[in-house]
Structures are given as C-alpha cells and as structure tokens.
A and B are shown apart, each in its own frame.
Chain A
Amino acid sequence: AQSVTQLGSHVSVSEGALVLLRCNYSSSVPPYLFWYVQYPNQGLQLLLKYTTGATLVKGINGFEAEFKKSETSFHLTKPSAHMSDAAEYFCAVRGMNRDDKIIFGKGTRLHILP
C-alpha cells in the first residue's frame, strides 16, 4: 500500500527566497509521484510528475522535484518565490500496478511574505 506524508501544513517564505516543500512516501512497488497545486477557489492542477528515468523533474512555473529512492522523498523546490506562488500544494503517489489509485498527501499551504 502507498502513503504520503507532507511535512508542515503551512510554510512561509519571503518573496525571492528558496521554496522547499517536503514530501515522503511509502510504496511497496516502484511509484509514480506527483505534485499538484491548488490556487484559491480552484481545482488541483498538475505541477509535475515522476514516472521513470531522470530523477530530477521540472514542472511548470519554475518548480522542480527530485526523486530520491534511498530517502523515499520527492521534495518540491523553486529557487526564488513569487507572490503568485501562494497556494496549497499536494504531493501524491501511485503504484505501477494497473489497479493502484493515486494517494494524496494532506497538503501544504505556501505563504509568500513581501
């Protein structure tokens, strides 16, 4: 079975500072990994995903995440925060078996300080 833990339900960073949102997963099979973003009063939007191959994955809006199998982590980073990055971010995992479903973390709300 898969599970996801996001460390910190709220994270605050200053505009221009590094953004780091932490995600650890557990999976009995090689996983697919995802980060989604949810802006206020909107649905979730896929930021990036890891399937196979290169462990550093680049997504939209300058975000990237690195799959580290030894640490069972998939942390999301962005070098320089922008006010428009304020949103809730969800990490998710899915096993590679046909019937596996996506399991979402509980989310991390990112606040950007001026």
Chain B
Amino acid sequence: NAGVTQTPKFRVLKTGQSMTLLCAQDMNHEYMYWYRQDPGMGLRLIHYSVGEGTTAKGEVPDGYNVSRLKKQNFLLGLESAAPSQTSVYFCASSYGGSTSGEQYFGPGTRLTVT
C-alpha cells in the first residue's frame, strides 16, 4: 500500500496564480483532511471531508477550496495565491465514525508564494 500520497512535493507560485494540490489514499478511509503547518503554529485544519461528495470548513478555510469527487482523492485549490499561503500542506486520512480516528499523513507539499 502506498498509504497517503501528495502531488506535487514542491511548488513556487506568483501572487495571484492558482493551483491544485492532489491527495490520494488507498486505505479505503472515509475521512480526509487538509492541514497547513507553519513555524510555531502547529497544524491548522483547512478543510475536511467525511465522505465522497461532502466537504466542510476547518479552522482556516479562507482562500482555499476543496473537492472530494472520489473517495480516494481530496483536492485542495488555491484560486488566487497570496504570500500568506506560503506553507507546508499536509493531507491526512482516517476511518470515520466510532473508531479511534487516528490519522495517516502524506509526506507534504511545500508551497512558496512570491
């Protein structure tokens, strides 16, 4: 099993450009998550999904959109990138419902917006 994979690993954008980050998991997990990690801030939840076709806002959703058209994929979009979105982005997945819900993380995407 590949687990959770993320594409791309690195990206540099100019202010105002758009991009999509792709997350894929092969563990048949119901739940998927997008986080950003910044120095001293820990992990902050951007958006999450509790099943195919559903999405919900997390702690810091502004400037991002997501889609979950297939159970195994969760896309994070930046429509008009800003320097404040320079960060490392992590995707995670988990079983849902009444399980303990530990999350499995991808390797991350390092995004720089100039």
Which A residues fall within an 8 A CB radius of B?
9, 32, 34, 36, 41-46, 49, 51, 90, 94, 96, 98, 100-102, 104-107
Contact = CB atoms under 8 A, between A and B. Distances in A.
B101 A43 contact: no
Contact of A106 (B40, B45, B105): B40
A104 B59 CA distance: 12
Chain B interface, >50% SS class:
loop
B42 A104 contact: yes
A30 to B, nearest CB: 12
B43 A34 contact: no
Given A43-B4, A106-B40, A32 B100 contact: yes
Contacts of A98: 96-98
10 contacts: A9-B40, A43-B92, A43-B107, A43-B108, A44-B90, A49-B100, A90-B43, A100-B101, A101-B101, A102-B101
Contact of A94 (B90, B101, B105): B101
A5 B68 CA distance: 32
B16 to A, nearest CB: 28
Given A42-B107, A43-B90, A43-B105, A51 B100 contact: yes
B45 A101 contact: yes
B45 to A, nearest CB: 7
A59 to B, nearest CB: 12
Contacts of A44: 43, 90, 92, 103, 105
